[in-house]
Structure 1
Amino acid sequence: MRTRNDHSTMRRLPLAGAALTAALALATGGALTATAAHADPAGGGWVRVAHLSPDTTSVDVRLTGLAGGDLVSELDGVAYGAVSDYIEVPQGTYVVSMVPSGSPDSTAPMVRQSVNILSGQPVTVAAYGRNAELDTKVFSDDLTPPAEGQARVRVIQASTTAKAVDIATTTGVPVTQKAKQGTATGYASVGAGPWTLDVTSDPATSTTRTSQAQIDLAPGSVATLFVLDTADGGLTVKPVVDSAGVGELPTGGIQTGGGGTATEHVGVGNLAGVGVLLLLGVLGATALQRRRAGGATGAR
């Protein structure tokens, strides 16, 4: 995040120097890098919450500091299958608690999970399982961008009716095999674009059931596929974007509804437009200076 002094320095940067910077980027085929707001968490990390218990009603979620119990964030009416945006917090230990929606502040939490936030590390805190055996787990998220034209996906298996599932595209590309309840798989790179997935419960652990789900993966994105139960006892997949691409190029960090922490890359095509505008500005300023100099000479 730039300070006011940084902005004033930028305003004093000569226009010709800015044009030269753009021209150099174009000549080398490179890209300028602009850091978005909140790109530097100042030693902090990110946490988000997922409600993955099918027979648990909507909940209110509170994030508090372990030391002192100060309220950091509060989410109301979080329903089954909902995954919050990432919340940026300083490094430290926090407590995620859940109570039924609308409960008074004195209500004892049905879920209480401590989570240690490390510098630069995003995590997902999930409540999963049937209400009678509600459990929580902290998953570490890896938002490393994929290669150009690719997307990275992983699976969090939260179905309570399938002990393990296999997921593959209808074209035969495997996404995961034997993903167990309450676990997160590693990340796999797949081609960006729309996919139809076959979700099959592992016949070795439960009655075989197969369902289909539609996903559409943007180039450069990182996504988590949450396996959930349907009301009729089937399986479904909810894709959640963890890190979204900017334009046609990948980002370098987290994109959330409240403002990204990504490093945005301006492509060569955009730089060409910027370079033209800067060059026109330089030529216009030079012409104006010449006219003024000529007028001053004539006045003498």
Structure 2
Amino acid sequence: MRTRFVLVTAATLTAVVGLLSLGPVAAQAASPGGAAPAAVTAAASTTGWVRLAHLSPDTTGVDVQLTALSGGQVVDSLSNVVYGQVSNYMALPQGTYVVSMAPTGHSMSTPVIQTSINVTAGTPITVAAYGKNADLHSVVFTDDLTPPATGQSRIRVVQASTSVPTVDIATTTGVVVASDAAEGTATPYANVPAGDWMLSLTGANTTSTAQVSLPPGAVSTLFVLDNASGGVTITSVTDASSVGDLPTGGIQTGGGATGVHVAQAGEGSSVVGIGVPVTAAW
């Protein structure tokens, strides 16, 4: 599973994301002259981040293509993305793009799902296909990487399970994480004490528990997904591990951050999965 990227230098990335996280005051203080370096300012004013997620439990592997609406140029592609996988973030110039998904190895001329997205400078987004194969939907989630306070972790819940229409999630000590979260939606972000949490999920005729690790200073998404036995599971993705980090990609079963690749065209990158086998069909 590969896509193509060009890496921006580590120094530029750290500066750009630090500015995005800390706001215009930090940008003015970024250089002795009171203004951000020109390269950093230009990157922050023209670049957004996109990652792609396959959240349809009975859909087989798909090839994904990202095309610029203006001119129709293919700017990125992924091959054989399967259920529960998410790509690394791609840094793209601000603008409108078309995301197309087709069964692996099939022509993109007849995609099974296609949607247009707007990439906004300085804003990371997650584009997901979800729902059963017979009724696929697409949704765009805005990923807010504002860092939490010291000793805190910042989380939200994305409800992508097709087994239950809504879910409630709380810690085993009674702290509510999500209430009546509906399929295809994301809850607002909330700050919680960092550490290992035991979560209890309840929905129509189902209950489950899961332990997640929420590192201090991190921003995470908790995905609710179907499992192979017809129930549901919770898995955590660390979107950003600390102040100054770019968004990180990959649904995973632990709390660790994954590698970051950004931008325009060049190097290969993989997608990461969580291992929730289900019956797949087109």
- Does residue 243 of structure 1 match 2:237? no
Aligned to 1:150: 152
1:68 to 62, 67, 71: 71
- The partner residue of 1:90 within 64, 89, 93 is 93
Tell whether the 8 Å contact from 1:99 to 1:111 is kept in structure 2 after alignment: yes
Q: In the alignment, what sits opposite 1:214?
A: 211
* Counterpart position of 1:19: none
- Give the structure 1 partner of residue 51 of structure 2: 48
Contact 1:58 1:77 in 2 (8 A): yes
Q: In the alignment, which of 223, 226, 230 is matched to residue 223 of structure 2? A: 226
Distance 2:211 2:176 in 1: 15
Match of 1:132, SS?
helix
Task: Judging by fraction of residues, say which structure has more helix.
Answer: 1
Q: Distance in 2 between matches of 1:171 and 1:101?
A: 44
Q: Which residue of 1 aligns with 2:278?
A: none
Q: Distance in 2 between matches of 1:187 and 1:134?
A: 26
Equivalent position amino acid for 1:89 in 2: L
TM-score, normalised with respect to structure 2: 0.73
2:247 aligned to 247, 254, 257, which one?
Answer: 254
* Aligned residue type for 1:194: D
Partner of 1:26: none
Residue 125 of structure 2 is aligned to residue 128 of structure 1: no
Structure 2 CA distance for partners of 1:76 and 1:260, relative to 1, 3 Å = closer
- Superposed CA RMSD in Å reads 2.4
Amino acid in structure 1 at the alignment position of 2:214: L
Is the contact made by 2:153 and 2:219 (CA closer than 8 Å) also made in structure 1?
yes
CA contact 1:146–1:221 (8 Å) conserved in 2 = yes
Unaligned runs of 5+ in 2: 1-7, 10-28, 250-258, 264-282
Equivalent residue pairs, number: 221
**1:238-268: CA deviation from partner (whole Å, max 9, x where unpaired):** 21111112xxxx336434523489xxxxxxx
Task: Please give the alpha-carbon distance, in whole angstroms, between the structure 1 residues aligned to 2:262 and 2:108.
Answer: 31
Deviations 1:122-173 (A, max 9, x none): 1111100000000101111111000111111101111111110001111222
**8 Å Cα contact 1:42/1:90 also seen in 2:** no
Query: How far, CA to CA, are the matches of 1:251 and 1:149 in structure 2?
Result: 16
What residue in structure 2 maps to residue 288 of structure 1?
Answer: none
Distance 1:91 1:235 in 2: 36
The residue matched to 2:46 in structure 1 has which SS? coil
Is the alpha carbon distance of 1:38 and 1:243 closer, same or farther for their aligned partners in structure 2, counting shifts above 3 Å? farther
* Distance in structure 2 (CA, Å) of the matches to 1:38 and 1:164: 42
Letter in 2 for 1:111: I
Question: Which amino acid in the other structure matches residue 65 of structure 1?
Answer: A
Identity %: 53
**What one-letter code is carried by the residue in structure 2 that aligns with 1:81?**
G
TM-superposition CA deviations, 1:197-254 (whole Å, max 9, x none): 11111xxxx3x31111121111111111111011111110121111112xxxx33643
Quickly say closer, same or farther: Cα 1:113–1:105, change in 2 above 3 A: closer
AA aligned opposite 2:83: Y
- Matched residue type, 2:95: G
Separation in structure 2 between the aligned mates of residue 185 and residue 80 of structure 1, nearest angstrom: 22
Higher relative contact order (CA 8 A, sep 6+): 2
- Report the Cα distance in structure 1 between the residues aligned to 2:142 and 2:127, rounded to whole angstroms: 9
SS in 1 for 2:216: coil
Amino acid at match of 1:132: A
| CA-to-aligned-CA distance 1:91-142 (integer Å, 9 cap, x gap) | 0000111111122454x11110100011111111110000000010111111
